[in-house]
Amino acid sequence: MPRYSVQFRRVGIGRTIGLVVAIAVGLAAAIALIVLSLGLALILIPVVAVALVVGRWRLRRMRAAAEAERGRPGAGKTIEIDYTVVDGDGERR
């Protein structure tokens, strides 16, 4: 089995400080993103819950109205219009 050797170069103090600052900024951005997403979820979860409750209530009300209408024969919606039969040679309106 071959052996691998990993060697790191020495970097100067300026690059070390830059690396530490970059890691700190990355971690701060990640933490800020997590806090922002949790805050947004804290606001949106109750809004979505209320919307679901209202939606279910309206759906049940519509189903009950449809059931009541189904029980009455001839209670469906009828659309009455005047119409004219047009041959293929005539004008269309």
**pLDDT of the residue at 9:** 78
Contacts 24+ apart (CB under 8 A), 45-51: none
**pLDDT of the residue at 15:** 86
| Residue-wise pLDDT tens digits, 36-77 | 999 999 999 999 999 999 999 999 999 998 887 776 666 666
Q: Model-level pTM?
A: 0.49
Is the model's pLDDT at 93 over the cut of 60?
A: no
